[in-house]
């Protein structure tokens, strides 16, 4: 514990007085301070000027990061027959119907993304109370309720990240590993910020993008210069 506290103290000192950095400077700073014994994740937090309690201010979507996340994504697919075979061939980790529903109801959730064909949504709907709070419920808006299970599985495995604003108007996501090159991480940051910017809801009033911060899994955070965080910037 003493070593962790010492490392955190050194990292915090390196970040002191720094804010509104360019994406490149922030990535460099975070990578230099990420000294944990595992490959830490680069995490992004975005404060948005929305109140998600109102339907016309809900922000959700999906983005294919240009350089992936560096994370192995386990995919479950609700499908039958030829579509089940298609999902398996595309690399899905778990494929099923009633049997998969029973496994989940039994408390066994060994996947990070759940995809379903439209005909099986009445079945999946029974799992709303289990999958919903974990942000695992298939949804046509983010492409996880689809007949094209092959494309959905490949996208999930290839670095696709779903995002959904939380009650306080904040979006969190992991967007790469600190072992990635500075350039790859910077590209991922801008791709993610651009996707959230494009998902601006009709009911958003005033400033939409309020603050964007980056951190590593075990490290302190630093805010970005908003102009630098977008492709247009």
- Give pLDDT tens digits along the chain (233 positions): 556 566 666 667 667 767 789 999 999 999 998 888 999 999 999 999 999 999 999 999 999 999 999 999 999 999 999 999 999 999 999 999 999 999 999 999 999 999 999 999 999 999 999 999 998 999 998 999 999 999 999 999 998 999 999 989 999 999 999 999 999 999 999 999 999 999 999 999 899 999 999 999 998 999 999 999 987 55
Query: Are 93 and 151 in a shared domain?
Result: yes
Dmax (CA) for the chain in angstroms is: 59
Place of tokens 């915090």: 12
Residue-level pLDDT at 74: 96
Query: Are 92 and 50 in a shared domain?
Result: no
DSSP conformational letter for 145: B
Query: Per the domain annotation, does 202 fall within a domain?
Result: no
Query: Per the domain annotation, does 180 fall within a domain?
Result: yes
Query: Per the domain annotation, does 13 fall within a domain?
Result: no
CA distance 113 to 95: 12
Residue-level pLDDT at 19: 79
Please check whether residue 134 is in contact with residue 113, taking contact to mean a CB–CB distance below 8 angstroms.
Answer: no
Q: 189: closest CA among 70, 66, 36?
A: 66
CA distance 126 to 105: 9
CA atoms 77, 82, 88, 89: torsion sign: negative
223 is in which domain, residue-wise? 19-66+163-187+213-233
Query: Are 149 and 82 in a shared domain?
Result: yes
Q: Which of 117, 141, 157 is the last residue of a domain?
A: 157
Residue-level pLDDT at 3: 61
Query: Per the domain annotation, does 192 fall within a domain?
Result: no
Residue-level pLDDT at 232: 58
Please give the tally of structural domains in the chain. Answer: 2
Query: Per the domain annotation, does 208 fall within a domain?
Result: no
């Amino acid at each position: 514990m003493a070593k962790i506290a010492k490392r955190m103290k050194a990292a915090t000192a390196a970040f002191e007085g720094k804010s509104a950095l360019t994406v490149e400077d922030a990535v460099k700073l975070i990578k230099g301070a990420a000294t944990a014994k595992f490959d830490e994740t680069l995490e992004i937090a975005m404060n948005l000027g929305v109140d998600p309690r109102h339907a016309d201010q809900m922000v959700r979507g999906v983005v294919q990061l240009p350089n992936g996340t560096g994370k192995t994504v386990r995919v479950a697919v609700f499908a039958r027959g030829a579509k089940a075979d298609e999902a398996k061939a595309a690399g899905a980790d778990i494929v099923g119907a009633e049997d998969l529903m029973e496994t989940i109801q039994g408390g066994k959730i060994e996947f990070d993304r759940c995809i379903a064909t439209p005909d099986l949504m009445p079945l999946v709907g029974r799992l709303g109370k289990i999958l919903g709070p974990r942000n695992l419920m298939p949804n046509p808006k983010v492409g996880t309720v689809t007949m094209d299970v092959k494309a959905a599985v490949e996208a999930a495995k290839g670095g696709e990240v779903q995002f959904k604003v939380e009650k306080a108007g904040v979006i969190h996501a992991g967007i790469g590993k600190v072992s990635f090159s500075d350039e790859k991480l910077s590209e991922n940051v801008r791709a993610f910020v651009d996707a959230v910017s494009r998902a601006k809801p009709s009911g958003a009033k005033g400033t939409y993008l309020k603050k964007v911060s980056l951190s590593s899994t075990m490290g302190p955070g630093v805010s970005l210069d908003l102009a630098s965080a977008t492709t247009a910037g």
